Amino acid sequence: MLNWLAKLLLTSTAIAPVLITYAWVAYQADEALLAVFLLGACIVLILICILMLRYSKQHLERVKFAATTVEAADRENMGFLLLYLLPLFTAQFATLNWQVWVPAIVIFAAVVATGYSYHFNPLLGLMGWHFYKVSTKEGVTYVLITKKQLRNATETIEVGQLTEYIVIDVGGN
């Protein structure tokens, strides 16, 4: 189990697409160096996400997992979409208040990384992964990250445990 590290990586990589929007706004404001830096940071976050997924599939302990209930958990994408597009509504790049944005993003990341509220990473969504809230016969609810389309709860899958309440499908996709 990666636990806090997995939460930190999932939270930080979730903002990677936001950096593309900020890079575009910076480029439009003739801030080419900042735009390149933001795109570079985005690429680094994407690579970190890919490496975490590979590590998880290769190194996490594999256990059989049978859910009793399945519910889609990646419906929270509208909030992220708004966060991604918000900089585009700003008249000028210089009017972005970084003294507010940076602490707000850090606080958001800290709350998600230390709590149990993580449900969606749009970067993983772009890579074809889906998020489901699944419950076990013991009554424990997990967030399952998988590339499979789950239509019923009868299928047993092989998972690795990323955190206390997040499991990832490590079986063949």
- The closest alpha carbon to 162, from 150, 144, 139, 147, belongs to 144
**Helix, strand, or coil here: 111?**
helix
pTM (2 d.p.): 0.76
Q: Give the Cβ contact number of residue 138 at 10 Å.
A: 6
Structurally, how many domains does the chain consist of? 1
pLDDT for the residue 38: 92
Confidence of residue 47 (pLDDT cuts 50, 70, 90): very high
pLDDT for the residue 115: 65
Confidence of residue 25 (pLDDT cuts 50, 70, 90): confident
Residue 55 has pLDDT above 60, yes or no: yes
Q: Which domain holds residue 12?
A: 4-169
Buried b (16+ CB within 10 A) or exposed e, 145-157: bbeeebeeeeeeb
pLDDT for the residue 26: 85
Residue 62 has pLDDT above 90, yes or no: yes
CA dihedral 95, 30, 24, 5 (to 10 degrees): -80
Helices 98-114 and 4-14, packing angle to 10 deg = 140
Quickly tell me which residue has 């000028």 as its tokens: 92
